[in-house]
Amino acid sequence: MTWKKFSGETIKSPILEEVEQAIEREYNLGNKLKVCIGTDSQVKGAITDFATVIVFLREKKGGFMFIHQERTSQKMSIKERMLSEVQKSIECAYALCDLLDLYDVDLEVHADINTNPNFKSNAALHEAMGYILSMGFVFKAKPEAFASSYCANKMVQ
């Protein structure tokens, strides 16, 4: 799985190592961190692009993120696509949660799902919320889900 920095630079070491180095670097600088993970997708014809982001928020000092992009030609309903986004975010969160616990870094999983029933993505809200919460993660949906709605959204190819 290939991860990149916002600059476009490819991360060559395993993502777990890179995240740990980032946490240590930020803590050595005196920064308190929170991590938010989210995924967004975009359908273009027969192709669906996904972008998953790990957003590091420095308390009162901005943030930075790592990005993973992938593409599929698998046809999905809107609900399947929303739950696929959530699955990708949970896989990432699960891979990092022990490390984040070790460093006492708060973690949120953000779903690009609208809480307003007038939006199509709302069809997946209850399943997504149940899935994320049952895994023990803090759940955020739109409009609070900036990691997926804004950060990942900008990175979808």
The pLDDT tens digits of the residues spanning 50-102 come to 999 999 999 999 999 999 999 999 999 999 999 999 999 999 999 999 999 99
Distance CA 132, CA 110 (A): 9
Is the model's pLDDT at 157 over the cut of 80? no
Cis peptide upstream of residue 143 (ω within 30 degrees of 0): yes
When pLDDT is averaged across residues 33-47 and rounded to a whole number, the result is 97
Q: What is the tens place of the pLDDT at every residue in 97-152?
A: 999 999 999 999 999 999 999 999 999 999 999 999 999 999 999 999 999 999 99
Do residues 85 and 41 touch, judged by C-beta distance below 8 A?
Answer: yes
pTM, rounded to two decimals: 0.95
Distance from chain centroid for Cα 61: 20
Task: Give the pLDDT confidence score for residue 1 in this predicted structure.
Answer: 82
Cα(52)–Cα(98) distance, rounded to whole angstroms? Answer: 19
* Domain architecture of the chain: domains with CATH: 3-155 (3.30.420)
